[in-house]
A and B are shown apart, each in its own frame.
Chain A
Amino acid sequence: SYVLTQPPSVSVAPGQTARISCGGNNIGIKTVHWYQHKPGQAPVLVVHDDSDRPSGIPERFSGSNSGNTATLTISRVEAGDEADYYCQVWDSSSNHRVFGGGTKLTVL
């Protein structure tokens, strides 16, 4: 089965840029989606189709995908961005959906 690998944690100071990686074999040929998940709340889709933002998501959130790594970039990080972030793909060979292990973003 397809495996997605994320760093367990990323720390950044307010106003700086956070980059969260998602590694997978040839992930560049897949479509990657990113979710923000805060404790006690439902997950929120922040980037879909590698780099598109749903309506209502700030332009500070962006995504890229190439080779074996997809990246979620959060510019001008705010305290309210502190959350767990998950990447997700569709494994077409099994029709399963696959999540990365998640990355805890800490705003210092």
Chain B
Amino acid sequence: QVQLVESGGGVVQPGGSLRLSCAASGFTFSGYGIHWVRQAPGKGLEWVAFIQYDGTKEHYSDSVKGRFTISRDNSKNTVYLQMNSLRTDDTAVFYCAREPYNWTPLGFDYWGQGTLVTVSS
């Protein structure tokens, strides 16, 4: 069965860095784009970043562009999110999600359980 498992969350000071991982199983990983979506405490879902199935295209929300980098290793079925220059308003549960594509994106059909990132001094 399709599984996405996030890891790497934790507590970090403002200005610090953290790398999240999203390990996938149960499907042909190299055939799917993967996204990161976050939810700050008491807030709604916010799209963060996307990486194409082959790693050749990346897109970022304006709030993280220049600070976060998404990458993938298809040999390890894993997507990463390198987060630098973290701010207190980056505190959130981070989810990775799979997105099928057929001429247009088909929505996020599988999600991980999320990993909590807390930015605090």
A interface residues (Cβ-Cβ under 8 A, vs B): 1, 31, 33, 35, 37, 41-45, 48-49, 54, 84, 86, 88, 90, 94-102
Verify B47–A35 contact, CB threshold 8 A.
no
B26 at the interface (CB under 8 A from A): no
Verify A97–B114 contact, CB threshold 8 A.
no
Assembled-state Cα–Cα distance A97/B37 (Å): 10
B45: which A residues are within 8 A, CB to CB?
35, 37, 43, 86, 88, 99, 102
User: Measured between C-beta atoms, what is the minimum distance from A66 to chain B in Å?
Assistant: 18
Interface size class of B (residues with CB under 8 A): 20 to 34
B interface residues (Cβ-Cβ under 8 A, vs A): 35, 37, 44-47, 50, 59, 61-62, 95, 97, 104-109, 111-114
**Chief secondary structure at chain B's binding surface:** strand
Assembled-state Cα–Cα distance A49/B108 (Å): 11
Assembled-state Cα–Cα distance A100/B46 (Å): 9
When the two chains form the complex, which single residue of A48, A100, A102 contacts B107, counting CB atoms closer than 8 Å? A48
Looking across the interface, which residue of chain A has its beta carbon closest to that of B46?
A99
User: Measured between C-beta atoms, what is the minimum distance from B46 to chain A in Å?
Assistant: 7
Verify A1–B113 contact, CB threshold 8 A.
no
